[in-house]
Structure formats: C-alpha cells, structure tokens
A and B are shown apart, each in its own frame.
Chain A
Amino acid sequence: MRLRIGPAIFDLRSPFRRSVGHLAELYRDYPQGMDGEVYDFAVRARPISPLRRWVRPTIVFDADFMVEDIVPVEARLGLLGFEMAINMQMALGYRREIVFHAASAAKDDRAILIVGDSGAGKSTLSALLSYQAGWRHMGDELALLTFGPEAVLRPYPRPIGLKNESIAVMRALAPADRFGPLLTETVKGTVQHLLPPQSAISTMDEPARPALIVSPRFRASVAPEQRRMTQSEAYLRLSVASTNQLTLGEAGFETLVDLVRNVPAYDIVYGSSEDALSLVDDLWREAR
C-alpha cells in the first residue's frame, strides 16, 4: 500500500496478510493510492527465511534506513515493526525540515512542542491534549520544523503509540474504534496504537507556529512542578532531540538558535493527567 503521512509518501509492502490488515485498519483515514506519484520511502517486510513464512513466522524489514535492534519481529508484531521502520525512515532519511524526536499539537495557528526521551510521557501527553483538552494533534513521535526565521511546525500525525498504563487511561477517553490491535510482550511492553481524531488527519497540511516548548516527566503521585530552561539548555535539549539537525548545516543551526531565542521552554513534572493538562494550560496562557 502507498500512503501519505504529513509531507511524506510511504510505500509499504508485506507478504503477511495480518500486517497488511493491521496497516489498512490503522491508516484508513490517510490519503492512499498514490500510484504513479514519487514516494519518499519504501518499507518492505519479508520472512526471515522461506520456511519461516509459516513456521514460527518472523519478519525482517528492508528499507533505506534501518538500525539492527528493531528487526526481526515475530509475525504477530508485524504492525509494530512497520511503525518502527516508518519512524526510522523519517528520523534518519528526511531532509526537507528539521526532524525532532518530539510530539506536537496546535491551538489555532500556534503549537506546543513536546520533547523528551522515550518513556518520558510524550505520547500520553499528546493523546490527552487531543482527546481531552481539544488540541489539534500534530504528531506524537516526530515533529517537523521548517527552516528560517519564520519557522513553522508541520503536522506529521501518526497513530499514537500508547504503552502499558497509558492504554487504560486513553481507553476511557477515546472512542473504541480509534484503537488498533493490542500488542503484548513487545520490547516496549504492551503497545496499542490510537488513531488521532479524524480532524487531525484532514488538517495535516496546515502548519502552526511554535509558541511553547515543554519537556515532560511523569512521576507517579508527585506534586506538579515547572522550571524555565535557559536558552542554551533549550538549544542543547533540542539539538539532542533532533535526528537530523547535524546533517543540515548552517540552516539547521540558525533555525534552532532562532527557535530558542523566541520560544520559551520549560521542564514540567507531574503525577497525574489532570496536573499535566493544567500545567500546560498555565504555560500556554503566558506564551505568545
């Protein structure tokens, strides 16, 4: 299948019917069938050996950009392998904008950029913002920032990769038909994908100006806290969070310097969804 996510067109192929079924379900709202158009990235699944298509079926992936630890996967986890491979193509292969390992969401024409390591709570916070607080979901894993002094964030709204405890939290908030299959015993524990609201996909060509940067950390039952980062801290944090900035030369440097000069950045710590949303709400009201 061929589909477009934000600005990038992916060509995905698999001989495993279950993976194809999962992909079709998860990407049902995305533009598809762009035969004849040039695609950006190809991801191909194949059995690790001919017989392993049927016996203890195991999938390996072929794509332009891969790292060893995401392959191979058991056939039942084919969807997860595809999701990781798709991310990897964007993170390492995309050059038209600065790519950050970050979530983003918008209100009107302004956006929040949520940076943090894996497991810090980006996906959960971005799911809460879109399904509980009325933000426009722009992506939970990778954020794309255009170059120049008037840089804007471009949506790259992927299915949100919920893990472990956050699955139950979001099941109470989002319609059941927006969830993908429950994937148990993966390298990340239990994983379930949550489709962003339909409106986030239909507006995925509408960029937003970054107005606030937060680096979240969830710690069970702690009191909410916020701390403003200095500009150089924010620069370093974003530079580390970017998967391609170093390859983009002076244009990447200049854009990132402008970003930290113009957009306030905060560390936030919270122990509950309510605290997370109220912290973001407070900071958003101060941001311009």
Chain B
Amino acid sequence: MSEQALHAGISAYSLDPDIRIERLEDLSLAFHRQSGETHVLAADTEIILSTLGDTPLSAQDIAARLVAEHGALESEDGDPLTLIEARLQELHRLGIALRRPSA
C-alpha cells in the first residue's frame, strides 16, 4: 500500500487466500473454500480482481496499476476511482477481498 494512501486513512484490499478464481471464456468464477459459495464475476470486477494479491492495495494503487498496464483510464462518465472503490467494497462484502482497516 502506498505511503500516501496509508496516511490519508484510505482502506486497502487484498485477495482472500481462501478464494479460488477460475477464468472461463466469457466470465470468471470465484469459489470461496470456507463457505463453498461460488460467485460469477462481471467484467469490471474481474479486471479489478486481476490486480489484487496478497499485498493490500487501495483504489488509487489499483488505478495506478491499471494505468501502467492499459494506459490512461478513460472516464467519460464518473470517476474511475469511485467506481473501483465501489467494486472493492462489493468484493469485501462478498468475502472475496479482505479489507485492511484504514490507518
């Protein structure tokens, strides 16, 4: 997690190690070993999930990674950071992402 984010008190997320992701030709599936639940992931969520790992990342960190990988994020409607944060919160609610309490 970036120093900046840490000081700003922004939440950071990492992938729950109990989650197993399987990419199918169209969508991805996330299997949660502890609950036995399977989630079908929409395209947006999957892009975000592909950046997550063991190290906690904030929405800003993820945006920076996506820019590095895909070039500038086009934001015709709305703020990409808000969108990323909303998806991260969803992933957290579903038990797919772990949230590190903000500093």
Chain A positions within 8 Å of B, measured between CB atoms, are 230-233, 235-236, 239, 246-247, 249-250, 253, 257, 260-261
Contacts and interface: CB of A to CB of B under 8 A. Distances in A.
B36 A257 contact: no
Given A249-B36, A250-B20, 5 more contacts: A230-B27, A232-B24, A235-B24, A247-B36, A249-B33
Nearest to B36: A249
A250 B24 contact: no
Q: Which of A235, A236, A239, A247 has the most CB of B within 10 A?
A: A235
A257 B24 contact: yes
Contacts of B31: 250, 253
Contact of A261 (B24, B27, B33): B24
A246 B39 CA distance: 12
B38 interface: yes
B20 A253 contact: yes
Contacts of B27: 230-232
Interface in B1-48: 20, 22, 24-27, 29, 31, 33, 36, 38, 40
Nearest to B31: A253
B33 A230 contact: no
A258 to B, nearest CB: 9
Contacts of A233: 26
Contact of A232 (B20, B33, B40): B40
B26 A231 contact: yes
A186 B24 CA distance: 43
Nearest to B38: A253
24 contacts: A230-B27, A231-B27, A232-B24, A232-B26, A232-B27, A232-B29, A232-B40, A233-B26, A235-B24, A235-B29, A235-B40, A236-B40, A247-B36, A249-B36, A250-B20, A250-B31, A250-B33, A253-B20, A253-B29, A253-B31, A253-B38, A257-B29, A260-B24, A261-B24
A236 B31 CA distance: 13
**What 9 A-B pairs have minimum CB-CB distances, sorted nearest first?**
A231-B24, A232-B27, A230-B26, A253-B31, A257-B22, A231-B25, A232-B24, A232-B26, A249-B36
Nearest to B26: A230
Contacts of B25: 230-231
Contacts of B26: 230-233
Contacts of A247: 36
A260 B28 CA distance: 12
Contacts of B40: 232, 235-236
Contacts of B36: 246-247, 249
A257 B21 CA distance: 11
A236 B24 CA distance: 12
